[in-house]
């Protein structure tokens, strides 16, 4: 046996392996990406902003630094409500938001953000991942040159800060109110004049009297924005947002240019963000509610059954109009409604009331 030949051959194989590994490393390095992500929410805002910051942090860890998605505050690159258009045309690679903000552009997308009188988070994401929701969302976003990955789901929101108690539906008529998504269309039917205002601009508008009332998010988030300083009557439940999904929007061409591994890394980080968001959102509300009442004198109200019935009827009318006039909305609504009817077989029997 020629030991010298064996050792020489082994050394050559090792050398080739090292060269091959270096080639793989160089390829990975060449494919590293550095993206800007414009946010519709301030990074300091609990959940709405911090979940976007968490994407920046986690994708760097998961990718070993090969993927950098840098979080930019609202207005740092563009106004908050222009993020959709910027991602669509490739002016920015990515955006952090919720599909509900784009109701005016594409009402069907709002059904992937929050649905009035809609499902709680478990049912919502069950439809999205296993009931056809994801496929429909991919198709509709692609019409605008965007790839979206759901990257957070939060607990029910509250539904309004008012200066005076709302005793009946008639008390809503004539109010000017900041309101979000499809719920805003319902409020319009109730005689409310609604405005979609980015989070950081709501308090000044409320304080100056530009708006009479507002909704924004959950107690822990609303507390952070200080609405209680102007309007001390706080209404739950959030009939318009029993669950809200948030997404990482990416320019579709740029998404397609990623490797399979990079796409899987982004999707994995977003999947973990969904888990984190649901757990955190459920854990931080009660302390915030106690602080609002005990330290800030807020009165927390429950909507009466009568007012909820009127809101539900207005939503039914809005759905009828949208499904009759908007093909995309009709398809998504049919998918969600069918899933919810079937889910009720389980949901009404599997859980305690």
226-243 residue pLDDT tens: 999 999 999 999 999 999
59-68 residue pLDDT tens: 999 999 999 9
Q: Give 31's pLDDT tier (boundaries 50, 70, 90).
A: confident
pLDDT at position 26, please?
A: 41
Phi-psi map region of 226: left, alpha, beta (phi>0 left; psi -120 to 50 alpha): left
Residue that wins the pLDDT comparison between 26 and 283: 283
Q: Quick one: average pLDDT of 147-153? A: 98
Q: What rounded mean pLDDT belongs to the chain?
A: 92
Four-CA torsion 174, 176, 181, 183, nearest 10 degrees = -30
CATH 3.40.190.170 domain locations along the chain = 33-156+242-283
**Residue 116 pLDDT > 70:** yes
pLDDT at position 18, please?
A: 39
CATH 3.40.190.10 domain locations along the chain = 160-241+285-345
Q: How many CB atoms lie within 10 A of CB 101?
A: 21
Which CATH code is given to the segment(s) 160-241+285-345? 3.40.190.10
Q: In whole angstroms, what is the distance from residue 184 CA to residue 32 CA?
A: 42
Q: Quick one: average pLDDT of 294-315? A: 98
CATH class, 33-156+242-283 region = alpha beta
**Residue 81 pLDDT > 80:** yes
pLDDT at position 249, please?
A: 98
- And the tokens for 228? 């209680």
Q: Give 195's pLDDT tier (boundaries 50, 70, 90).
A: very high
- Rounded to two decimals, the pTM is 0.89
Q: Give 286's pLDDT tier (boundaries 50, 70, 90).
A: very high
């Amino acid at each position: 046996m020629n030991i010298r030949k064996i050792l020489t051959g082994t050394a050559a194989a090792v050398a080739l392996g090292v060269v091959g590994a270096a080639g793989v490393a160089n390829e990975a390095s060449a494919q590293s990406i550095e993206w800007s992500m414009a946010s519709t929410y301030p990074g300091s805002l609990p959940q709405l902003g911090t979940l976007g910051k968490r994407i920046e942090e986690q994708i760097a860890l998961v990718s070993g630094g090969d993927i950098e998605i840098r979080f930019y505050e609202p207005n740092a690159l563009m106004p908050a409500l222009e993020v959709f258009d910027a991602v669509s045309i490739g002016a920015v690679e990515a955006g952090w938001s919720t599909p509900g903000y784009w109701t005016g552009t594409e009402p069907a997308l709002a059904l992937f953000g929050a649905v009035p009188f809609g499902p709680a988070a478990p049912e919502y994401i069950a439809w999205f991942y296993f009931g056809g929701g994801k496929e429909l969302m991919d198709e509709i976003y692609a019409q605008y040159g965007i790839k979206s990955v759901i990257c957070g789901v939060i607990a029910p929101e509250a539904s309004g800060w008012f200066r005076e108690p709302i005793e009946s539906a008639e008390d809503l008529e004539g109010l000017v109110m900041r309101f979000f998504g499809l719920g805003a269309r319902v409020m319009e039917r109730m005689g409310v004049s609604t405005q979609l205002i980015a989070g950081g601009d709501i308090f000044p508008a409320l304080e100056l009297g530009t708006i009479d009332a507002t909704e924004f998010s959950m107690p822990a988030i609303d507390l952070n924005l200080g609405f209680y300083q102007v309007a001390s009557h706080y209404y739950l439940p959030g009939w318009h947002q029993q669950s809200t999904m948030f997404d990482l929007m990416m320019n579709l061409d740029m998404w397609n240019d990623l490797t399979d591994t990079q796409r899987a890394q982004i999707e994995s980080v977003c999947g973990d963000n969904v888990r984190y968001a649901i757990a955190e959102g459920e854990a931080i509300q009660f302390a915030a509610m106690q602080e609002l009442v005990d330290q800030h004198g807020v009165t927390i109200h429950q909507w009466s059954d009568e007012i909820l019935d009127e809101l539900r009827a207005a939503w039914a009318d809005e759905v009828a109009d949208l499904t009759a006039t908007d093909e995309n909305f009709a398809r998504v609504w049919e998918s969600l409604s069918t899933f919810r009817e079937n889910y009720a077989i389980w949901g009404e029997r599997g859980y305690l009331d």
